[in-house]
Structure 1
Amino acid sequence: MKRIIFFIFLFQAFTFQLQAQIKHIVAKGETVFQIAKKYQITPYDIYRLNPDAKGGVKENTTLLIPKPSTGKAIIHEVGEKETLYGIAKKYNVTVSDLENWNKQQLDGGLKKGQQIFVSKPSSNQVKTPSLFVPDAKPKLDSKTALSNYEVQAKETLYSLTKKFDISQEELIKLNPDLQDGLKIGMILKVPSNGSVITKAKDSVLVAKNKVNLLGSVDKSKQKNLVLLLPFNINKIETDSVKTKTEQLKTNKFLNLTLDFYAGALMAIDSAKVLGLPVNVKVYDVESTKYSSNVASIISKNDFENVDAVVGPFQNSVVETTAQLLTKYNTPVISPLSKERGLPLPNLYYTVPAEDRLRASMFDYFKSKNGNVVAIISAKKTTSKDFIIANHPEVKHALFNDKGALDVALLKTKLVKGQKNFVLMEIEKASTIISITNILKGLQKEYDIQLAVFELYDALNFEEIPMKNLTDLKLLFPSATKIAETPEEKIFEKQFKKINNIYPNAAAKKGFDVTFDAMLRICQPEGFVKSAATTKTEYIENAFDYNSSNGLISNNATYLLYYDSDLTIKQAQ
């Protein structure tokens, strides 16, 4: 298959631009600063496209130089609740770009009414937009969601304002004790955002930076990655051509493997373009529900110098792999399994646990000061027991003797002037239709949003009007987000160009898991420390590994909802 290697990917602090570039051959004695001056750009622009240049440039080295814009720089006026990330995404630039172009304006944090550069200002423009007006009013209001945060070692007021996108004045207003100085271990009230995670037990946030790992890649050492994928080729090779064709049409597990592998190949090709020093080997895991050849693969091949292993898919087989590689301390990444088993120190689950997905939804309810009412059928005892045990504040609607929802009782559970989240767990499509119709009618009096723990099969029943779900903005937790940035769309188009189909969730997972693994093993600190300290995000998946009772799981989740324009969006 012909591979056209042209992939542009978005990172919060790094982006590859589609704009035309100039190739510059470094002359003897030239420095980065001299080259930047020559092209009327900044050294930062050179480092962004040529990370190796940070260590200096050598004669005859080829550098990629972005063509300087000759047009007038674009100025943006900051709106209500806007963040640097949101503005960067809107104008297809990076957060680092905005910070570099607006150092003076952003010194006290981003404020409503500010005017900032969202494209590179030319040398003849003033350092700040001529209409720049500081806004003394704090951007926080009574509806802003707050969380508790424990101050870490070496943190300062300035670093906290950057972390939580808040001014020092606002931070002190929320935490008057800061007037006496910042101390390690202090618990502060801060705006909730995506750069931190929540400890389940005490609801104290722990710092976890979401970073671009590409900027800190160590290219001086060759790294080794192994993919253990269940192709089961030996079984397929004995089949006739007709049977093989039928396998491709009907064997869901084989198609899952092929989709994942197609995404992984895109990641490997992208790594080559970026110059990552990673050698990748792929082994065919012949596995069934009760057996596999993974022990044989490991015994017959040199795994001592393998920096990370992606796969296999089945939980029992991936556990065996991790156990066999414990002696080498090799990280084993479980890419698709939702199951949890042995707490192994080198086993990393990329699929968030079910309890984490549910917790993220209840965190969201709390952040919106929501009134939560559960409508749970009698057969959904597990869900009802979970809510009663973990969230006693939730109110419960009931069904009458005829099996119909008691609407009068439901209305007593709803609150006017407050967001009402109705959590529904129902197995019958006819009951879902009835309940959604009732809730739509009650929207005239109450602010209601429907929520579910997962998109279970009954919700896809063809007789359930999609308008019922979109009008109620059906909310659900998800391990994946919706690809919507220009760079993510480019990935989808490029995948189709190579494979003649658009990538499905398995293909995107293959890319995300493989690319993240390659970037982490290329970090100076290695995979294990990188996973413990940094959060990453790619096409559809983010990775935020945390250990709980010995199990290392990905805690990165998303909340999505059905919007009235028939699209799925991410809840904010």
Structure 2
Amino acid sequence: MKKLLTVLVIVLSLNLSAQNYIEHKIKEGETIESIAKKYLVTPFDIYALNPDAKTKFQANTVLIIPNSKIKNEPLNEETKELIGYKTHKVKRKETLYGLSKKYGVSEEEIKKANRFLYSENLKKGDKIRIPKFKTFVSKVSLKNTVKKYTVLPKEGKWRIAYKFGITVEELEALNPEMKPILQPGDELNVPNIEDKDEKPIDAAYDYYEVLPKEGFYRLKIKTGLTQEQLEALNPELKENGLKAGMVLKVPASSDTVSSLLDVETTKLESKINNFKVKKIALMLPYRLHRIDVDSVEEAKEEIKTNKLLSLVLDFHVGVKMALDSAKQLGISTNLKVFDTEYQPSTISQILADNDFSDYDAVIGPIQEKNFDRVASSLRGDRVPVIAALNKPKEVYANVFQSIPEDKLLQKAMIDFIKTDSLKSRVVVIADQSHRTVSEMLKKEFPSASQIYSQKDKKTGKDAHFIYPVQLENVFIPGKTIVFLETDNDAFASSAISLLNSKVTNTTEIILVTLDKNRAFDGKDVDNNNLSNLKFHYPSVRKDYDESMSNSFIKAYKEEFGVYPSKYAARGFDVTLDILLRLASEDNLYEASNEVFETKYIENKFRYTKSLYGGYINEAVYIVKYDNLRIVEANKI
């Protein structure tokens, strides 16, 4: 037996030598990820050769590391040499962080040149030395090297990570200066594997990074794909299992939004366990430089007439009241408010003068360009940036989009109608510009009848009306659901009036729409008709019930003499949700990995990580007109 073991050891050693493998003894503090990064392989490569490492990973254990993919070619390495100093007189509000960015040196390098900064803070008037360096580039041969890769059109981080068999995090580690959004022609460092070892990229597929604690059940909710389907597309799943950081291939057509209605509602107040002080930044365009704060009357007039300022102040009040509510639960917050002035230059100055790396979250800004600038700048430090009142242009990995996408609202409405146990008749009424929407609804409800607005006989343009005869013999005793799709005031009001005239004791008509726009609020639309038709529509928010006892509404009314606006309620809801999530986990990302729903005054939140970046709120209300009140609808 002993002899047999000796032979096996010799054979194994010869085999390892022939195939160019490396033996690595695990040290204290090392992880599979850190070892994989050291040898420029993936954790999955290590697990494939060391299956026991999944359950028995401990110091002094020897791992077999594959090395056959790596070529040994020299890399360019930069070194810096100190060549002198520049004197800088510190101005008001200047910080070490801002100076380091301004002069292209690190904060530590400035401190080394000015030893007193290790024990004292930077003050206005201080004269400090800023080190100047000369950079040298030399060729360095490494045991394991990388190669340069030029980004192709339509390639993102996920596709490139998949192609080279690494995680997105590993790709980012190889490229510290990588842009959040890659452009064709960008050069990246990638593992120097043979061309034949690169995984092919198919334009018919998308690529998704597996999150921590994410299992096949959660992926099924996000992608609509079963474990068997994912394994068929990604054979390595069968060998190595599902691991955080893996980049999976999924069909581009896969529906990333599953059921929007049947999700558990969670009260985070019962899950509070992190009582560290939360550090929050609020960035809003107060534009206080435009207001004469010494004139009370002028300030009051500005608040009355300036809609943006009124919105911002209402939201701010909601934020402050959320902080008070959180404090009563034992959650303390350090809030810092920044006036963005609605100017990109002001945002640049705020980012240069402040270090946000240790903030738990940043709320705002409102303007799209300013928001994208902040989110992109703070992405490297993984600081969550909350889009509270806007939909960002780019949902970076650190973005939390709190306003659901329009397609989610549409899907929620369609799914809601499909829950109708009576399988009522469906009619779609649309103007000419909404033919595509009508055809989409016809696919969802194949037996639906379609009615379109009439065209002007001379011009051929949409005349935005239907003849009463078009509704003859359409409605029979029982329930009929009517989709009305238009953004034209005249067409909406006339169609609603005609539909209301068809309601009888035996004929029930339920009016619904995928897009409740201004046309349904037109001056000629009678709210009595909308109530009679039990008008249903999807919404980001619902009106709070004034008859229900609520501490926020009560406190707001006592303070200001009126009920809170939707912006005050949103400021309260968004902020309280952030604070409760932060108090239930170590950070906002971990608090949003599991799919659960939270509800507050008017808004609810269910964050799901998108296939391509950050987190998007998928919580949608279906509301209806009920006796001239707008209430949440539970069933059709």
Q: TM-score range by the shorter chain?
A: 0.5 to 0.7
Does residue 1:395 correspond to 2:437, yes or no? no
Query: Which residue does the alignment assign to 2:631?
Result: 569
Query: Which residue does the alignment assign to 2:615?
Result: 552
Does residue 1:447 correspond to 2:500, yes or no? no
Query: Which residue does the alignment assign to 1:325?
Result: 378
Aligned residue among 526, 535, 545 for 2:597: 535
Does residue 1:234 correspond to 2:257, yes or no? no
Task: Please list the CA deviations of residues 502-537 of structure 1 after superposition, one character each: whole Å capped at 9, or x if unmatched.
Answer: 200000000001111111122234211212213211
Please give the alpha-carbon distance, in whole angstroms, between the structure 2 residues aligned to 1:423 and 1:210: 29
Please give the alpha-carbon distance, in whole angstroms, between the structure 2 residues aligned to 1:206 and 1:491: 27
Number of residue pairs matched by the alignment? 373
Amino acid at match of 2:572: F
Does the C-alpha gap of structure 1 residues 443 and 324 become closer, same or farther in structure 2, counting only changes over 3 Å? same
Query: Which residue does the alignment assign to 1:246?
Result: 301
Does residue 1:305 correspond to 2:358, yes or no? yes
Please give the alpha-carbon distance, in whole angstroms, between the structure 2 residues aligned to 1:509 and 1:334: 12
Does the C-alpha gap of structure 1 residues 252 and 393 become closer, same or farther in structure 2, counting only changes over 3 Å? farther
Task: Please list the CA deviations of residues 365-392 of structure 1 after superposition, one character each: whole Å capped at 9, or x if unmatched.
Answer: 1111343322112244564465467766
Please give the alpha-carbon distance, in whole angstroms, between the structure 1 residues aligned to 2:260 and 2:571: 30
Does residue 1:349 correspond to 2:401, yes or no? yes
Could you tell me whether the CA contact under 8 Å between 1:308 and 1:521 is conserved in 2? Answer: no
Does the C-alpha gap of structure 1 residues 224 and 243 become closer, same or farther in structure 2, counting only changes over 3 Å? same
Query: Which residue does the alignment assign to 1:373?
Result: 427
Does the C-alpha gap of structure 1 residues 350 and 370 become closer, same or farther in structure 2, counting only changes over 3 Å? farther
Does residue 1:424 correspond to 2:424, yes or no? no
Q: CA deviation at 1:202?
A: 7.7
Query: Which residue does the alignment assign to 1:279?
Result: 334
Does residue 1:436 correspond to 2:490, yes or no? no
Instruction: After TM superposition, list the pairs within 5 Å mapping 1:195-234 onto structure 2.
Output: 200=255, 203=258, 209-234=264-289
Does the C-alpha gap of structure 1 residues 328 and 425 become closer, same or farther in structure 2, counting only changes over 3 Å? same
Does the C-alpha gap of structure 1 residues 401 and 224 become closer, same or farther in structure 2, counting only changes over 3 Å? closer
Please give the alpha-carbon distance, in whole angstroms, between the structure 2 residues aligned to 1:208 and 1:436: 33
Percentage of matched positions with identical amino acids? 30
Query: Which residue does the alignment assign to 1:504?
Result: 565
Q: CA deviation at 1:399?
A: 3.9
Task: Please list the CA deviations of residues 441-475 of structure 1 after superposition, one character each: whole Å capped at 9, or x if unmatched.
Answer: 32225321111234432333333332211111111
TM-score, reference length from structure 1? 0.59
Could you tell me whether the CA contact under 8 Å between 1:397 and 1:406 is conserved in 2? Answer: no
TM-score, reference length from structure 2? 0.54
Aligned residue among 552, 567, 571 for 1:491: 552
Could you tell me whether the CA contact under 8 Å between 1:473 and 1:562 is conserved in 2? Answer: yes
Q: Choose 519-528 or 419-428, whichever is displaced more.
A: 419-428
Does the C-alpha gap of structure 1 residues 376 and 208 become closer, same or farther in structure 2, counting only changes over 3 Å? closer
Please give the alpha-carbon distance, in whole angstroms, between the structure 2 residues aligned to 1:429 and 1:328: 48
Query: Which residue does the alignment assign to 1:27?
Result: none
Does the C-alpha gap of structure 1 residues 500 and 292 become closer, same or farther in structure 2, counting only changes over 3 Å? farther
Could you tell me whether the CA contact under 8 Å between 1:286 and 1:292 is conserved in 2? Answer: no
Does residue 1:519 correspond to 2:572, yes or no? no
Amino acid at match of 1:503: P
Could you tell me whether the CA contact under 8 Å between 1:482 and 1:569 is conserved in 2? Answer: yes
Please give the alpha-carbon distance, in whole angstroms, between the structure 1 residues aligned to 2:389 and 2:449: 35
For 2:325, what is the secondary structure of its paired residue?
helix
Could you tell me whether the CA contact under 8 Å between 2:364 and 2:386 is conserved in 1? Answer: yes
Structure 1 residues without counterparts, runs of 5 or longer: 1-151, 156-198
Query: Which residue does the alignment assign to 1:462?
Result: 523
Amino acid at match of 1:561: K
Task: Please list the CA deviations of residues 2-42 of structure 1 after superposition, one character each: whole Å capped at 9, or x if unmatched.
Answer: xxxxxxxxxxxxxxxxxxxxxxxxxxxxxxxxxxxxxxxxx
Q: CA deviation at 1:426?
A: 3.9
**Structure possessing the higher radius of gyration over alpha carbons:** 2
For 1:325, what is the secondary structure of its paired residue?
helix
Amino acid at match of 1:396: Q
Q: CA deviation at 1:323?
A: 0.8
Amino acid at match of 1:541: N
Please give the alpha-carbon distance, in whole angstroms, between the structure 2 residues aligned to 1:503 and 1:525: 32
Q: CA deviation at 1:487?
A: 6.0
Amino acid at match of 1:570: E
Query: Which residue does the alignment assign to 1:104?
Result: none
Higher relative contact order (CA 8 A, sep 6+): 1
Please give the alpha-carbon distance, in whole angstroms, between the structure 2 residues aligned to 1:389 and 1:312: 40
Could you tell me whether the CA contact under 8 Å between 1:260 and 1:510 is conserved in 2? Answer: yes
Does the C-alpha gap of structure 1 residues 464 and 347 become closer, same or farther in structure 2, counting only changes over 3 Å? same
Please give the alpha-carbon distance, in whole angstroms, between the structure 1 residues aligned to 2:437 and 2:447: 15
Please give the alpha-carbon distance, in whole angstroms, between the structure 1 residues aligned to 2:453 and 2:384: 50
Amino acid at match of 1:279: N
For 1:374, what is the secondary structure of its paired residue?
strand
Please give the alpha-carbon distance, in whole angstroms, between the structure 2 residues aligned to 1:154 and 1:341: 30
Instruction: After TM superposition, list the pairs within 5 Å mapping 1:51-130 onto structure 2.
Output: none
Query: Which residue does the alignment assign to 1:360?
Result: 412
Q: Choose 202-211 or 221-230, whichever is displaced more.
A: 202-211
Q: CA deviation at 1:299?
A: 2.4
Task: Please list the CA deviations of residues 387-425 of structure 1 after superposition, one character each: whole Å capped at 9, or x if unmatched.
Answer: 4677666431134567552445445555654x3221113
Q: CA deviation at 1:280?
A: 1.7
Please give the alpha-carbon distance, in whole angstroms, between the structure 2 residues aligned to 1:202 and 1:495: 36
Q: CA deviation at 1:230?
A: 1.4
Q: CA deviation at 1:286?
A: 1.8
Task: Please list the CA deviations of residues 176-228 of structure 1 after superposition, one character each: whole Å capped at 9, or x if unmatched.
Answer: xxxxxxxxxxxxxxxxxxxxxxx945846898542121222224433211111
For 1:210, what is the secondary structure of its paired residue?
coil
Please give the alpha-carbon distance, in whole angstroms, between the structure 2 residues aligned to 1:216 and 1:400: 57
Could you tell me whether the CA contact under 8 Å between 1:277 and 1:522 is conserved in 2? Answer: no
Aligned residue among 539, 543, 551 for 1:478: 539
For 1:333, what is the secondary structure of its paired residue?
strand
Could you tell me whether the CA contact under 8 Å between 1:315 and 1:334 is conserved in 2? Answer: no
Instruction: After TM superposition, list the pairs within 5 Å mapping 1:41-60 onto structure 2.
Output: none
Does the C-alpha gap of structure 1 residues 202 and 476 become closer, same or farther in structure 2, counting only changes over 3 Å? closer
Amino acid at match of 1:423: F
Could you tell me whether the CA contact under 8 Å between 1:559 and 1:570 is conserved in 2? Answer: yes
Could you tell me whether the CA contact under 8 Å between 2:284 and 2:365 is conserved in 1? Answer: yes
Does the C-alpha gap of structure 1 residues 153 and 325 become closer, same or farther in structure 2, counting only changes over 3 Å? closer
Amino acid at match of 1:548: S
